[in-house]
Structure 1
């Protein structure tokens, strides 16, 4: 089998944080299985215009999954508090000193009154472009981590599926080994029924009955298709790119052959093999639901 890193799960989580002079940015991305790609974004109002850019980045690198993306920005305290314009304050103080020299009775203003003068207190203006650029870069970092996490989870899924494929092949080999025994047992049972019924058939009629019994018990075609499907699943696991839908279809085909094998079963051994096949296929199908 080729590298299991070619298999990506749709279930993963990533988180990235960036601390700068303007404040702290945090990005969280969560993804779960979904038939198609379904992105959801939660952004602060100041970064809302970034959503189309982030959405395009997501679509370029992910094919399936329900993906929730959250971006949070907390401005630094220094940027939240107003700052004193020292030059403006000095100009006002100088003007007041000049007034007091001219008008001796003038009452000097309080500190609060000085601060309330126009232009003395200024709100810090954040560099929005720098914040947006940092948020976009941080999102790419979180997306990289999410994809790595999906690949690691996919590697585990590929290993579990490969183990069950080997078990399916073992069941196919078991049934193939039972076929001569099954046909012989069917022949013996037919002859026994004829003996009990004290019925004699001419050789040609007997041969025809034996051929009919053999046809009903013949599962070579089903076993061949099971083998072919197992090989195709292995091939798909080794392919690059999304493969979950194709694998899900192959599970349906495997299950179809297992059901046919069960319906043709004439002995307990093949019935047990068919049941085991269906259990293995269902286990693989559950894992494949999470594959991109």
Structure 2
């Protein structure tokens, strides 16, 4: 089933002291154009998200916006055990040297040691973005799935609209064929009149050239090929609507072919009724082209 290039999904999450909300949206575009607004200090996150989007999407102007905040809480303090051990060893040596020289030192307190530079460190995760980047990359999967589901739902609605329009084109094509059949008598009379006119003025005219002109008159009024191609285009469009994947470009090209046949039919109509049907065809085809612009 086809997918629309229009989609939206939002989400929120948390990891440690960090909180975030993000939105993923897209509109139609000729190719895949991505704009990601994520904090630069989250090293590797944008590259990872771009890779995931590229694997999942083919077309559309896609925008990802994220707001990230951090809880203002007191960071967890961790004892620098190696530093404390070195400080205690130094304290013992100091006391021994003081005793040898008869110097009496005041007793040391734990608070004095803990106040020394480097004895207490903040938790290791405080400045390390890797755990947060990993969490965000994982949770982005759910956001992307919701986004693709919406594009798929929009695509189903588009398919319904396009199918109804193809039904109109098919019905108008049948009507055009019927009108062409009904006008055969009039066209035969007109062809005979043209033939008589040519023959009356054919003295000295090359026979081969005369045959070419008569054949050209007949071709200019025959819309059999246009009818056949319109029917074939309807079948091809229905097949594309039933396919998975990105078929928007193929449908867009097919709309150009539809329009070309409708224009030719109008130019060959030579009948008010057939011209009216041709104009109706052009109107429906134009409506289809607008819808196809949203197909991925």
Asked whether 1:145 is paired with 2:146, we answer yes
Asked whether 1:11 is paired with 2:11, we answer no
Q: Any unmatched runs of 5+ in structure 1? A: 1-5, 88-101, 104-115, 202-207
- Structure 1's 54 and 86: CA in aligned 2 closer, same or farther, altered over 3 A? closer
Task: For 1:181 and 1:215, locate their aligned partners in 2 and report how far apart those are by CA, in whole Å.
Answer: 17
| CA displacement at 1:193 relative to structure 2 | 9.6
Q: Tell me what 1:234 maps to.
A: 238
- Indicate conservation of the 8 Å contact 2:9/2:144, yes or no: yes
SS of 2:58's equivalent? coil
- Indicate conservation of the 8 Å contact 1:27/1:139, yes or no: no
| CA displacement at 1:241 relative to structure 2 | 1.1
Which among 50, 56, 59 is matched to residue 55 of structure 1? 50
Q: Tell me what 1:264 maps to.
A: 268
- More divergent stretch after superposition (128-137 vs 116-125): 116-125
Task: For 1:180 and 1:54, locate their aligned partners in 2 and report how far apart those are by CA, in whole Å.
Answer: 59
Q: Tell me what 2:158 maps to.
A: 157
Q: Tell me what 1:97 maps to.
A: none
Task: For 1:61 and 1:85, locate their aligned partners in 2 and report how far apart those are by CA, in whole Å.
Answer: 43
SS of 1:145's equivalent? helix
CA displacement 1:231-272 (0-9 Å, x = unmatched): 001111111211010110000001000000000011111111
| CA displacement at 1:47 relative to structure 2 | 1.5
| CA displacement at 1:185 relative to structure 2 | 2.3
Cα RMSD, aligned residues only: 3.4
1:33-112 superposed matches below 5 A: 33-78=28-73, 81=74
| CA displacement at 1:288 relative to structure 2 | 0.7
- Indicate conservation of the 8 Å contact 2:3/2:151, yes or no: yes
CA displacement 1:64-97 (0-9 Å, x = unmatched): 111111222211232xx4668899xxxxxxxxxx
Q: Tell me what 2:257 maps to.
A: 253
SS of 1:266's equivalent? coil
Task: For 2:194 and 2:35, locate their aligned partners in 1 and report how far apart those are by CA, in whole Å.
Answer: 69
Q: Tell me what 2:185 maps to.
A: 184
SS of 1:46's equivalent? coil
- Indicate conservation of the 8 Å contact 1:16/1:138, yes or no: no
Asked whether 1:221 is paired with 2:216, we answer no
| CA displacement at 1:25 relative to structure 2 | 2.0
What is the number of equivalent residue pairs in this alignment?
253
- Structure 1's 84 and 139: CA in aligned 2 closer, same or farther, altered over 3 A? closer
**Runs of at least 4 residues of structure 1 off by over 6 A?**
83-87, 119-122, 190-195, 208-212
- More divergent stretch after superposition (263-272 vs 128-137): 128-137
| CA displacement at 1:118 relative to structure 2 | 5.8
| CA displacement at 1:23 relative to structure 2 | 2.5
| CA displacement at 1:158 relative to structure 2 | 0.7
- Structure 1's 191 and 83: CA in aligned 2 closer, same or farther, altered over 3 A? closer
Task: For 2:3 and 2:149, locate their aligned partners in 1 and report how far apart those are by CA, in whole Å.
Answer: 9
Asked whether 1:282 is paired with 2:286, we answer yes
| CA displacement at 1:186 relative to structure 2 | 3.0
